[in-house]
Amino acid sequence: MDTSYPRDERPSPKRGPPPAPRDHLLWAIFNTLYMNFCCLGFVALAFAVKARDRKVSGDVEAARHFSSKARCYNALATAGSVVLPLLLGALIVTGVIHLSKLAHESVGFFTYQFSGSDDEDQ
């Protein structure tokens, strides 16, 4: 007699076919039109269309594979189009700050007054 844990007496739910994979087509269209970083949006669009074609034809495994590739390229395109401008903006801001400090320090160098004692001339 096994009393280690209480058993679930409910019948197990019937498992149907796995759900069809998402094709990420709208995300790929958005990346292609608005954020086409290094043509990754276009590559994502190609894989999304392939995923949709395979899903319509009934090849779920190939559709899942192409859907995964489309998701990956969409994520790369979105990250590249969002992160790189932010990084470029941060570099420009830090460069301007550095140049302004350098210019402020050099003003003192160029406005140096040669006022000293005249002991050296005599």
Q: Which two tokens stand for residue 86?
A: 């932010």
| Rounded mean pLDDT, 38-43 | 91
Q: What's the confidence (pLDDT) of residue 112?
A: 64
Is it the case that residue 31 has pLDDT exceeding 60? yes
| Rounded mean pLDDT, 37-64 | 93
CA 101 to chain centre: 33
What's the burial of 31, exposed, middle or buried (CB within 10 Å: 0-12/13-18/19+)? buried
* Stated pTM of the model: 0.63
Q: What's the confidence (pLDDT) of residue 98?
A: 94
Helix 40-57 vs helix 60-110: crossing angle, to nearest 10: 170
